[in-house]
Amino acid sequence: MTTPAPTPFGTRLRRAMDERGPLCVGIDPHASLLADWGLGDDVAGLERFTRTVVDALAGRVAVLKPQSAFFERFGSRGIAVLERAVADARDAGALVLMDAKRGDIGSTMAAYAAAYLDPTSPLFSDAVTVSPYLGFGSLRPALDAARASGAGVFVLALTSNPEGAEVQHAARPDGTTVAASVLAHLKAENAEEAEKGALGSYGAVVGATLGATAERIGAELAIDGPLLAPGIGAQGATPADLPQVFGTAVRNVVPSVSRGVLKHGPDASALVEAAARMADDVRAVAE
C-alpha cells in the first residue's frame, strides 16, 4: 500500500491563515519577560510561561514560533520543555515554526535538518528558520528534508535588525544584492507549487521595519511562498506598514509578533484578546 504524500507546508499554512488569521506569535521566554510575568528565570518559570502561551493560543493562532535559544540556555531540561511545547501546540492545531536560524554545511546541515524536519524527531516542527550565509546551496539538506516531510523552511533574506544590511544589501559581481539572490533561489524552489496555484513551502524572512527600503526590491518579494515579517510591535512596525513594505505580496505575509502579545500575560484571556486584535489588524490591510 502506497503511503500518501504529506500535505505541503504552504498549503497547510494558507489554510491556517484563512481560518485563524494571518499571524505568527513568538514564544520568547527571555529573562526580563519571565520577570514581568512574576516568574523566576529558571526551568520552572520557563515551563509555566510556555504552557500558558501554548494553552492560550495554540487553538487560535495560525503559527506559534518558539525561539530555540531561550530554551537551550537551560540545557536538557529546557529542551524537554520545548519538545512538549512543540507537540502540544501541533496537537491543538497551530503550525509550529522553530526559530533556530541554523546554517552549516554538509553532514552538519543534514543533522540540523534531521532535528527539526524529520517526523521521527521529538523536535519535529512544521517549519524552521535557517541562515543562507554559507551559500544558498548549503541549505540543500534542509530544503530536501522539508520537501520529503511536507514541512517548510524560512530563509533569512532581509531581516529587521539594522546590522543585517551590510551583508544582505551587498552587491554581487552581477550587480544583484545578496538578498535578491536569496529571494530568487526561493522562487525557484517554489515553482512546482506555484504552477498548481498553491502557496509554496519555502519562505523568506523579510522585516516589516524596512519601510521604503523595500521599494527597491518589491518585485523580488514575489517568491510564490510565505514571507515571515518580524518587527511588528516592540521594533516599531505596525500592521499598517505591511502594504508599503510588501506591496502585492502582502497576502502571503505572516507577521510575527512576540512582545506585542506576550506583554499581556500571564492572564490567558488577555493573551487571546491581544492576538485576536493583531490578527484582525493584519487581515484588514492584507485583504
The catalytic residue positions are: 101
- Lookup result for grid cell 515554526: 97
Grid cell listed for 281:
489588524
Strand partners, 237: 232
Q: How far apart are the first and last CA of the chain?
A: 42
- Cα separation, 232 vs 153, in Å, equals 21
Grid cell listed for 268:
490567558
Number of neighbours of residue 113 by Cβ within 10 angstroms? 27
Number of neighbours of residue 234 by Cβ within 10 angstroms? 12
In whole angstroms, what separates CA 197 from the centre of its chain?
22
Q: Are 105 and 113 in contact (CB under 8 A)?
A: no
Rounded to the nearest 10°, the torsion over CA 280, 223, 28, 70 is 170
